[in-house]
């Protein structure tokens, strides 16, 4: 790629005719090699047989996605610098936390293809929420580049925005669900249910990504591609629903065969929609040819199956009795898109010859669609290598031919009519299941920095300062309010605290070297009460400004300390809980490009619920 870029620059810059000819020849050679590499890479990344189940059963292969790959990332230096510059703490004291984060990311790069792998990806995704709020201010980045490769083409992309990291992890959650779904043994009811669940969750992950992330640098995360992937997953769910109906109804009566035909017609309809999406201008040059061909093959195959089951209902099931006739008439009336030519419905359902005639028309159409599916299948080199798919197509084709030969009579001189299309219908509509991050319990790796509602990236802090306090006649001379962390709500003029330099609005972060960012109000008061005559060392931090506030508001930070009632208004956060427990999507996806940061003043900092002022004495 670099050679081609250099050659193109030289071609544009030079005026020498011979040099231009030489460079043009080299460019042609390089472009030819790149095209070959691209085709080989596409064949590897879009491989469908890698993730199929290992059983000996015969079922139509599903289309899984490969995971996006990423380079190693060294968080250490940027995070240490941010901890020192922003929080005023020694970054080297957080080496254990940084190492845990790096190990988690390294493990996330190669998750196992099972539920444990999904939990690993979700854990890292949840940690990114904490990192975003801890270390990524609104108008500043850490200088880190997040490198990810396109899941299908392998083209590298990079961004400084943490949103790209989050989006890529979310994409991999969806991709891993597709692999788990494709590996299920769908000849058993449990396997079909697991496949349905996996593909529905994959659709949910891609849809979640589409709705909350825009301007993606890689094509696999573009809106058009994600829309295609959601539709593809829904189609594969619908295919599994048909397989489930087949397993549940081993003995097929007339109504069951009609249901199978309509389910197959529904599968054909959704795959036709997927193929239409894959051939759109922004998608067709990106989607692997094997995928588009597979989808088209499936569309033809399931259309053929719908007509086959219609023929079975008419030819293999006994004519309706007088008791069952009304129910059969009602079902058959809604079966075709347009009514079939011939006698009245009641006569058709009770006359074996008329049933055979219409069944023969459906079989003729089934055979034509089977042959078209096999023809399209033969056009793709990758699909020709999939023996299972070819075996399924050949089996279905031979079965329809056999049934046609069985019902075809030598004395049939009538022209076989064209069978009407079958009305698609399903008894189980696919669901788009969004990721449930609350299922994986996560603790903020950097919880030692303090409650996230206060010690976050948008709040800039003065360096911590330690003061020595000795109890006077009237105590230490200040009042406390709130917890996690405890706030100095008032300083008595002339008291010990005032002389030591404590101010209203300071946050107590440690007492005698013991961290108390997470301590409750009563705990801090008790620690101060037990101080001896020699006094106590109290470390406090002061809010410098908040990124969310206007520039003019930064000058009034000191004034805010007097408004203790406003300062202490907000939500309680005295436990390290996962952000994914929120019901709304806005909390989960505050990283999305589409979300807007609040422009309101952040002086009303979120604190815990508070009691009355308590004089430390």
Shared fold status for 59-209 and 450-543: no
SS percent in the chain: helix, strand, coil, step 5? 55, 10, 40
Q: How many residues does the chain have?
A: 617
Dihedral sign for Cα atoms in the order 38, 39, 40, 46: positive
Number of C-beta neighbours around residue 562 at 10 A:
13
Span 570-591, average pLDDT: 38
How far, in Å, CA of 446 to CA of 132, rounded?
12
Span 253-279, average pLDDT: 95
Give residue 574's pLDDT: 35
How far, in Å, CA of 322 to CA of 171, rounded?
56
Give residue 604's pLDDT: 29
Check if the beta carbon of residue 307 is closer than 8 Å to that of residue 362: yes
Mean per-residue pLDDT of the chain:
82
Check if the beta carbon of residue 305 is closer than 8 Å to that of residue 397: no
Which range scores top for mean pLDDT: 52-66, 433-447, 473-487? 433-447
Give residue 31's pLDDT: 61
Number of C-beta neighbours around residue 55 at 10 A:
14
Phi then psi for 459, rounded to 5 degrees? -100, 115
What are the structure tokens assigned to 493, written together?
């003029």
pLDDT-derived band of residue 216, with 50, 70 and 90 as boundaries?
confident
pLDDT digit string, tens, across residues 405-453: 998 877 665 677 788 999 999 999 999 999 998 888 999 999 999 999 8
**DSSP codes of every residue in 286-321:** TS-HHHHHHHHHHHHHHHHHHHHHHHHHHHTSPPPP
The distance of Cα 285 from the centroid of its chain, to the nearest Å, equals: 23
How far, in Å, CA of 284 to CA of 72, rounded?
32
pLDDT-derived band of residue 96, with 50, 70 and 90 as boundaries?
very high
How far, in Å, CA of 531 to CA of 471, rounded?
8
β-bridge mates for residue 614, sequence order: 480
Give residue 591's pLDDT: 42
β-bridge mates for residue 468, sequence order: 537
What are the structure tokens assigned to 330, written together?
């009602």
CATH of 59-209 given 3.40.640.10, 3.40.50.620, 1.25.40.280, 2.40.33.20: 1.25.40.280
Q: How far is CA 37 from CA 4, 31, 49, 510, in A?
A: 14, 10, 20, 60
Q: H-type helices in 316-460, by residue range?
A: 325-333, 345-350, 352-377, 381-384, 387-407
**For the chain, domain boundaries:** 1-46, 59-209, 249-442, 450-543
Span 545-560, average pLDDT: 49
β-bridge mates for residue 157, sequence order: 148
Span 112-139, average pLDDT: 92
Give residue 613's pLDDT: 45
240: nearest Cα among 293, 193, 178, 203: 193
202 membership: H or E segment, kind and range: helix 189-212
The distance of Cα 103 from the centroid of its chain, to the nearest Å, equals: 22
Residue 115 has pLDDT above 90, yes or no: yes
Give residue 617's pLDDT: 43
What are the E-state strand segments in 435-477?
A: 459-461, 465-469
pLDDT digit string, tens, across residues 289-337: 999 999 999 999 999 999 999 999 999 988 877 888 888 889 888 899 8
Span 95-115, average pLDDT: 94
What are the structure tokens assigned to 280, written together?
């759109």
Number of C-beta neighbours around residue 608 at 10 A:
24
Residue 598 has pLDDT above 60, yes or no: no
291: nearest Cα among 372, 235, 216: 235
β-bridge mates for residue 508, sequence order: 486, 540
pLDDT-derived band of residue 349, with 50, 70 and 90 as boundaries?
confident
Task: Point out the least confidently predicted range of 49-63, 212-226, 241-255, 326-340.
Answer: 49-63
How far, in Å, CA of 508 to CA of 440, rounded?
32
242: nearest Cα among 214, 271, 285, 206: 271
State the DSSP code for 472: B
Give residue 279's pLDDT: 92
How far, in Å, CA of 540 to CA of 91, rounded?
18
β-bridge mates for residue 615, sequence order: 479
pLDDT-derived band of residue 557, with 50, 70 and 90 as boundaries?
very low
Residue 554 has pLDDT above 50, yes or no: no
Residue 576 has pLDDT above 70, yes or no: no
End-to-end CA distance of the chain: 72
Give residue 582's pLDDT: 39
Calculate what percentage of the chain has a pLDDT beyond 70.
80
CB-based contacts of 591, cutoff 8 Å, min separation 6: 128, 129, 132, 162, 163, 166
Check if the beta carbon of residue 52 is closer than 8 Å to that of residue 61: yes
Higher pLDDT, 16 or 617: 16
The packing angle between helices 115-135 and 76-87, to 10°, is 40
Any idea which fold 450-543 has?
Answer: Pdz3 Domain (2.30.42)
What are the structure tokens assigned to 488, written together?
């100095």
The packing angle between helices 189-212 and 162-182, to 10°, is 160
What are the structure tokens assigned to 99, written together?
């190492």
Higher pLDDT, 196 or 564: 196
Rg of the chain, C-alpha, whole Å: 34
How far, in Å, CA of 155 to CA of 162, rounded?
19
pLDDT-derived band of residue 18, with 50, 70 and 90 as boundaries?
confident
Task: Point out the least confidently predicted range of 20-24, 117-121, 247-251.
Answer: 20-24
HEC string of 30-62 equals: HHHHHHHHHHHHHHHHCCCCCCCCCCCCCCCCC
How far, in Å, CA of 367 to CA of 358, rounded?
14
Q: pTM score, two decimals?
A: 0.80
Give residue 417's pLDDT: 77
Give residue 599's pLDDT: 35
Give residue 177's pLDDT: 96
Q: Is 341 helix (H, G, I), strand (E, B) or coil?
A: coil
């Amino acid at each position: 790629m670099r050679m081609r870029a250099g050659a193109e620059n030289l071609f544009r810059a030079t005026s020498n005719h011979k040099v231009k000819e030489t460079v043009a020849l080299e460019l042609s050679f390089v472009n030819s090699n790149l095209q070959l590499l691209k085709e080989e890479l596409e064949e590897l990344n879009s491989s469908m047989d890698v993730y199929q189940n290992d059983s000996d059963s015969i079922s139509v292969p599903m289309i899984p996605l490969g995971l996006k790959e990423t380079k190693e990332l060294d968080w250490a230096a940027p995070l240490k610098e941010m901890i020192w510059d922003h929080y005023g703490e020694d970054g080297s004291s957080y080496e254990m936390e940084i190492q845990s984060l790096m190990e988690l990311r390294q493990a996330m790069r190669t998750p196992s293809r099972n539920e444990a792998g999904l939990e690993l990806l979700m854990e890292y995704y949840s940690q990114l929420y904490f990192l975003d709020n801890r270390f990524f201010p609104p108008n500043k980045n850490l200088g880190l580049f997040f490198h990810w490769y396109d899941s299908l083409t392998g083209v590298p992309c990079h961004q400084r925005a943490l949103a790209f990291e989050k989006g890529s992890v979310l994409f991999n959650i969806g991709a891993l669900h597709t692999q788990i779904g494709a590996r299920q043994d769908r000849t058993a009811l449990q396997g079909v249910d697991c496949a349905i669940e996996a593909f529905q969750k994959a659709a949910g992950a891609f849809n979640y990504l589409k709705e909350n992330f825009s301007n993606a640098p890689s094509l696999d995360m573009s809106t058009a591609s994600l829309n295609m992937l959601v539709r593809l997953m829904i189609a594969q769910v619908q295919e599994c629903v048909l397989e489930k109906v087949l397993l549940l109804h081993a003995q097929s009566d007339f109504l069951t065969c009609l249901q199978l035909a309509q389910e197959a017609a529904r599968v054909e309809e959704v795959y036709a929609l997927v193929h239409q999406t894959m051939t759109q201008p922004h998608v067709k040059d990106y989607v692997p040819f094997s995928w588009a061909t597979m989808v088209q093959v499936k569309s033809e195959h399931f259309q053929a199956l719908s007509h086959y089951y219609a023929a079975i209902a008419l030819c293999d099931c006994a004519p309706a009795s007088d008791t069952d006739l009304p129910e059969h008439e009602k079902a058959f009336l809604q079966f075709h898109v347009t009514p079939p030519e011939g006698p009245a419905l009641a006569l058709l359902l009770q006359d074996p010859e008329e049933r055979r005639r219409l069944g023969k028309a459906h079989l003729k159409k089934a055979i034509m669609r089977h042959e078209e599916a096999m023809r399209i299948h033969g056009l793709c080199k990758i699909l020709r290598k999939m023996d299972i798919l070819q075996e399924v197509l050949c089996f279905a084709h031979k079965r329809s031919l056999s049934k046609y030969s069985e019902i075809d009579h030598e004395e049939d001189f009538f022209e076989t009519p064209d069978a009407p299309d079958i009305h698609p219908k399903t008894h189980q509509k696919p669901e788009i299941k969004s990721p449930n991050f609350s299922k994986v319990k996560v603790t903020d790796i950097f919880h030692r920095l303090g409650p996230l509602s206060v010690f976050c990236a948008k709040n800039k802090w003065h360096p911590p300062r330690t003061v020595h306090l000795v109890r006077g006649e009237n105590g230490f001379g200040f009042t406390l309010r709130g917890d996690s962390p405890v706030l100095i709500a008032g300083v008595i003029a002339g008291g010990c605290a005032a002389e030591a330099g404590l101010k209203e609005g300071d946050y107590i972060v440690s007492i005698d070297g013991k961290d108390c960012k997470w301590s409750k109000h009563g705990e801090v008061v008790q620690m101060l009460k037990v101080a001896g005559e020699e006094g106590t060392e109290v470390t406090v931090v002061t809010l410098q400004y908040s990124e969310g506030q206007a520039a003019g508001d930064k000058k009034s930070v000191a004034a805010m300390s007097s408004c203790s009632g406003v300062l202490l208004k907000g939500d309680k956060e005295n436990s390290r809980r996962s952000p994914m427990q929120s019901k709304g999507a806005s909390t989960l996806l505050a990283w999305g490009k589409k979300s807007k940061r609040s422009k309101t003043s952040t002086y009303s900092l979120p604190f815990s619920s508070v009691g009355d002022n308590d004089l430390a004495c």
